[in-house]
């Protein structure tokens, strides 16, 4: 979009907030909106949000924020670097032995966390599947703990109510050493989603409050389904999604001025022929580009889902669809992107996680400039080899052949004969083998004993505190 398009979308979003309003099912937040000049109807929980409070709130949002790994590696979100979040919150997994789809289990979370810890280009480890073998009352925090135990990378999870959010904060405080230290150096990260169109349920508001009041950063996500809970046109869908993100900013800044968040977007098309969300459609990447452009327009950090596909296996369709949305998000300047898995973000597999890591590796190579200096221009080398010569035996080639090129451990570049003689493996087979080897051999650093004890104490309390 050009600057005039961005300004038009912004103006439409402000009109949506002023004329339609947002439904906020949280008395305390409705009180803050009333106190700050918004027109509020307590009987319907509807708030008309004027543009003045939007403009004031946008000026208070940090332009960047930092999150941290268990070993204090710093990820500077909004600084121009690109960070990738591993597969998140899928209902099903392809069993690595039977290759059949089945519900997720707690041990799947452990295995995938180890795998992600060993993959260079997965920077943040999300809870990959729903653990159906764990009581629903404590599934959330048990799943988060399983990630924390099995990776040193930042933990990413989606609390759905205030109880889960408080448990998650307590888990983060155990890792960081205290709640104050967690606010200073966050080792956990969250995703909080609005309910389109323009609704913020009580549980969602409670999660926003728990994070914003502690100035803990999170992804604010608007994820409407086009033609279902937002207008069917791209401009209409983008305007509504942007209005929801602006509402997130207002609510967050009313709770705590300067609270950090990432401007998220996961608007998805809807294939009316099949009644299915078109995660693999090119428009999914285009919606991501638009959301990233709007975040840059507002000068706030951005987050979105990429690596998306409707495919059910790591096949050709999966490859071109996941590369499409990943590349478009990257080129649009996303600060952070999440792997949307297989089958409309409902299925994951070990091989697909490895393949998505390869896609992000290519994006990382794209971001790395090549040097232009006397050594890399290689005029002396060219002079010594001369016209018609061969560079394979030169010292310059031996020194620099890895400098400007990414060498994949998964993609095949062998001759047909060599590939065939080694079993003619498809990429999914190679990726699955690499995944199993990583899970078997990679050993993340264990939690300190004191942290482990605090976490076990938290897990014991979880079943009693969590809502059913």
Tell me the pLDDT tens digit for each residue of 142-176: 999 999 999 999 999 999 999 999 999 999 999 99
- For position 465, what pLDDT does the model report? 65
- For position 137, what pLDDT does the model report? 87
- Domains defined along the chain, listed by start: 59-367 (3.20.20.480)
Find all residues with CB under 8 Å of 464, minimum gap 6, and list them.
Answer: none
The pTM of the whole model exceeds 0.75: yes
What CA–CA distance (Å, rounded) separates 373 from 384?
18
Residues of the chain with confidence (pLDDT) below 70: 465-468
pLDDT digits (tens, 9 = 90+) for 89-112: 899 999 999 989 999 999 999 999
- For position 467, what pLDDT does the model report? 55
Question: Residue 291 pairs with which residues in a beta bridge?
Answer: none
- For position 466, what pLDDT does the model report? 59
Find all residues with CB under 8 Å of 237, minimum gap 6, and list them.
Answer: 224, 226, 230, 231, 267, 287
Helix (H, G, I), strand (E, B) or coil at 83: strand
Query: And the tokens for 299?
Result: 């000068």
Cβ–Cβ under 8 Å, residues 94 and 112: no
């Amino acid at each position: 979009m050009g600057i005039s398009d961005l300004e038009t979308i912004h103006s439409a979003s402000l009109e949506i907030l002023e004329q339609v309003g947002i439904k906020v099912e949280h008395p305390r937040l409705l009180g803050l909106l009333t106190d700050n000049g918004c027109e509020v109807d307590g009987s319907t929980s509807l708030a008309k949000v004027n543009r003045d409070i939007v403009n004031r709130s946008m000026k208070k949002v940090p332009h960047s924020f930092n999150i941290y790994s268990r070993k204090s590696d710093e990820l500077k979100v909004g600084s121009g670097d690109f960070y990738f979040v591993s597969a998140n919150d899928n209902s099903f997994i392809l069993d690595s032995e039977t290759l059949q789809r089945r519900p997720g289990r707690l041990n799947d979370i452990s295995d995938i966390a180890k795998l992600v810890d060993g993959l260079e280009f997965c920077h943040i480890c999300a809870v990959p599947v729903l653990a159906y073998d764990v009581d629903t009352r404590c599934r959330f925090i048990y799943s988060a703990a399983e990630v924390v135990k099995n990776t040193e990378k930042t933990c990413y999870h989606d609390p759905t109510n205030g109880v889960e959010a408080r448990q998650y904060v307590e888990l983060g405080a155990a890792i960081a050493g205290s709640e104050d230290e967690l606010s200073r150096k966050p080792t956990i990260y969250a995703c909080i989603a609005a309910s389109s169109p323009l609704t913020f349920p009580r549980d969602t508001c409670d999660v926003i409050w728990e994070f914003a009041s502690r100035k803990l950063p999170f992804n604010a996500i608007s994820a409407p389904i086009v033609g279902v809970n937002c207008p069917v046109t791209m401009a209409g869908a983008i305007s509504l999604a942007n209005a929801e993100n602006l509402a997130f900013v207002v609510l967050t800044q009313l709770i705590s001025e300067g609270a950090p968040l990432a401007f998220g977007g996961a608007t998805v098309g809807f294939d009316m022929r099949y009644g299915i969300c078109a995660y693999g459609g090119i428009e999914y990447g285009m919606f991501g580009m638009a959301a990233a452009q709007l975040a840059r327009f507002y000068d706030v950090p951005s987050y979105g889902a990429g690596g998306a596909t409707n495919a059910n296996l790591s096949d050709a369709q999966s490859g071109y669809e996941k590369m499409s949305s990943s590349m478009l998000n990257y080129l649009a300047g996303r600060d952070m992107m999440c792997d949307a898995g297989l089958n409309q973000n409902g299925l994951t597999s070990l091989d697909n996680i490895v393949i998505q890591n390869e896609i992000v590796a290519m994006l990382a190579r794209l971001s790395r400039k090549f040097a232009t200096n006397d050594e890399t221009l290689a005029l002396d080398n060219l002079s010594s080899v001369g016209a018609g010569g061969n560079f394979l035996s030169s010292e310059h080639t031996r020194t620099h052949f890895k400098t400007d090129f990414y060498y994949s451990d998964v993609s095949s570049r062998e001759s047909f004969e060599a590939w065939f003689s080694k079993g003619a493996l498809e990429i999914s087979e190679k990726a699955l083998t690499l995944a199993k080897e990583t899970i078997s051999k990679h050993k993340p650093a264990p939690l300190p004993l004191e942290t482990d004890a605090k976490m076990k104490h938290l897990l014991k309390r979880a079943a009693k505190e969590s809502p059913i």
